[in-house]
Amino acid sequence: MPIHTKSIKIFAPATVANLSCGFDVLGCCLDTVGDEMVISISSTPGTRITKIEGANLPLDTKKNVAGVAVEALLENYDSEIGVEIEIYKKIKAGSGIGSSAASSAGAVWAVNQLLGGPFTHQELIAFAMKGEKLASGNAHADNVAPALMGGFTLVRSYTPLDVIKLHTPQDLMITVIHPLIEVKTSDSRSVLKQKVMLKKAIQQWGNLGGFISGLYTEDYDLIGRSLEDVIIEPLRSILIPEYDNVKQAAIAQGALGCGISGSGPSIYALSKGADTAEKVANAIREVYKKTAVSFDIHISKINTQGIKII
């Protein structure tokens, strides 16, 4: 049994990636839903996952996103140390709110804390992306970045990796409905086309610029106008029951915009103020109550801190 020299318990938040206009580059962090993890450092070299509760995931470090991410970190650390990981999953796999990202980002963030912070955010994002690659076949950073940095993040470039934390307007709230069906990110990536019409690309980058400008100027109408996805949503929304009705109901209740959360099946809506976010939640609940699909609804402020010790 390895002797732990240091140990911390953390909250690893759920995240919403893409935010309609920023496929693979935009994401934001929630604060009412997330996993818990206990990470310990020991003098017995190697990474060990000692406990997983709340999900049927592999303990084998090479098959577990947290294990793979920590191994990537340790390969870049000078001394030989041991890491033990306990995972208490609250975010369901295949939910579209960054379940794998919470585990991989949480694990590397905690190890970095225990080691006194030798790695930068950009380095931790790169380690956590190895976990995303294992989970979905693609090393995207738009969930791990907001989990690690908090708030809204933009992946300006993947090669070289350049991630920017954006401004969060005070009153912005997010409502998320998670239909309890699993959509694997790898499956919902396989329905995408590799080529985009120039006309659509122009619309999308206009919206991405508009969204970011809206965040900084706290122009909620501009944020709303920019939450449009003409490239990915038409292909993926057919995988999500009642997608159009949920979107219509959210907008009718005053949501600024509504779209697919990450690769789905969760749907997110951004609103100005808690009252509107609550009304949006009630309206989309009514839509889903008429179906046979079970669901969870989360209402959250934007979590500007990201992962934290609890």
Catalytic sites, residue numbers: 132, 185
Query: Under the criterion CB under 6 A, does residue 276 sit at the interface with ligand HSE?
Result: no
CA 286, distance to chain mean position in Å, is 26
Of 24 and 86, CB closest to ligand HSE: 24
Of 42 and 263, CB closest to ligand HSE: 263
Q: Which residues pair with residue 271 across a beta bridge?
A: 173
Q: Which span (56-64, 122-130, 137-145, 222-230) binds ligand HSE, by CB under 6 A?
A: 137-145
Query: Under the criterion CB under 6 A, does residue 237 sit at the interface with ligand HSE?
Result: no
Query: Under the criterion CB under 6 A, does residue 262 sit at the interface with ligand HSE?
Result: yes
Tokens 């690659």: give the residue.
133
How far, CA to CA in Å, does 303 sit from each of 40, 107, 149, 307? 25, 19, 10, 9
Total residues binding ligand HSE (CB under 6 A): 11
Q: Which residues pair with residue 307 across a beta bridge?
A: none
Of 15 and 112, CB closest to ligand HSE: 15
Q: Which span (15-23, 83-91, 120-128, 269-277) binds ligand HSE, by CB under 6 A?
A: 15-23
176-205: contacts with ligand HSE (CB under 6 A): 185, 189
User: Binding mask 279-308 vs ligand HSE (x if CB under 6 A, - otherwise)?
Assistant: ------------------------------
Closest to 233 measured CA to CA, from 203, 256, 212: 203
Of 143 and 153, CB closest to ligand HSE: 143
CA 172, distance to chain mean position in Å, is 17
DSSP H or E segment with residue 274: helix 274-289
Of 114 and 155, CB closest to ligand HSE: 155
Tokens 């017995």: give the residue.
44
Q: Report the nearest approach of ligand HSE to the CB of residue 91 (Å).
A: 11
Residue 183 identity: V
Query: Under the criterion CB under 6 A, does residue 142 sit at the interface with ligand HSE?
Result: yes
Q: Which residue in 143, 175, 226, 276 binds ligand HSE (CB under 6 A)?
A: 143
Q: How far apart are CA 90 and CA 168, in angstroms?
A: 25
Q: Which two tokens stand for residue 191?
A: 């329905």
Q: How far apart are CA 297 and CA 291, in angstroms?
A: 15
Q: Which residue in 12, 18, 172, 210 binds ligand HSE (CB under 6 A)?
A: 18
Residue nearest to ligand HSE (CB): 262
Q: How far apart are CA 66 and CA 305, in angstroms?
A: 20
